[in-house]
Amino acid sequence: MWIEYLPHTADIRMKIRGKTLETLFRNGIIGMGHILKEGFCEKRMSSDLSLKIHVESSDTTCLLVDFLSEVLSASYTEKSIFCKVDFLTLDSSEILAEIHGMRVEVFEEEIKAVTYHEADVHKCEGLWESVVVFDI
């Protein structure tokens, strides 16, 4: 399973995996898009909006959370769900990327924030993985 949703009393706990850091981060935005509107990213191959984002963080775990936070903020200000990302730079503390999304009328779920709680980007049995807890 590349994207899993685990039990949490009030919020959403998502576990993501990827063969590379790029795929881990990409699965992060697909998983987040699924929360905003179920199945949205499974259907959408095209996009009507692209944005460049730049994120710098102290370590890879913070980078994942900060990256998802930037994408989430863009979702709300642009009323769009971003399912695709092209990384121009991705290292352990910096991302320069272009994100691609589609406008939506309404979101199905309100994610208040992407939290750092339990986030830990690490390698396990050859795959990158992390948990991400969303405040709902």
Partner 1 sequence: MKITKAHINKLEDYLWEIPKSFKPQMRVPARVLASEPLLDAIMEDRSLAQLVNVASLPGIVGASLVMPDVHEGYGFPIGGVAATSYPEGAISPGGIGYDINCGVRLMVSDQKIHTIRDNLEELAKELYAQIPSGMGKGGQIRLSSKDMDTVLSKGAQWAVANGYGAEEDLAFMESKGRLPNADPSMVSDMAKKRGSNQLGTIGSGNHFVEVDYVEEIYDDDIAEAFGLYEGQVVVLIHTGSRGLGHQVATDYIRKMMSAMANYNIEVPDRELCCVPFNSSEGQDYFKAMCAAANFAWCNREVISWEVRTAWQNIFGPDIPLKLMYDVAHNIAKIETHKVNGQEAEVIVHRKGATRAFGPGFEELPLIYKDHGQPVIIPGSMGTCSYVLAGTAKSRELTFGSCCHGAGRRLSRTAAKKQVNAPVLKERLKDEGIFIEAGSFKGIAEEAPIAYKDVNMVVDTVRESGIAKRVAKLRPVAVVKG
Query: Which residues are at the interface with partner 1 (CB under 8 A)?
Result: 5, 7-12, 36, 57-58, 61-62, 66, 69, 73, 76-77, 79, 104-110, 112-119, 133, 135-136
The per-residue DSSP string of 66-83 comes to HHHHHHHHHHHHHTEEEE
Min dist. Cβ of residue 25 to partner 1 (A): 17
Beta carbons within 10 angstroms of residue 19's beta carbon:
11
Q: What angle do CA 27, 62, 6 make, to 5 degrees?
A: 50
Residues counted in the chain: 136
Min dist. Cβ of residue 105 to partner 1 (A): 7
Min dist. Cβ of residue 89 to partner 1 (A): 19
Q: Which is nearer to partner 1, 12 or 90 (CB)?
A: 12
Q: Which is nearer to partner 1, 56 or 86 (CB)?
A: 56
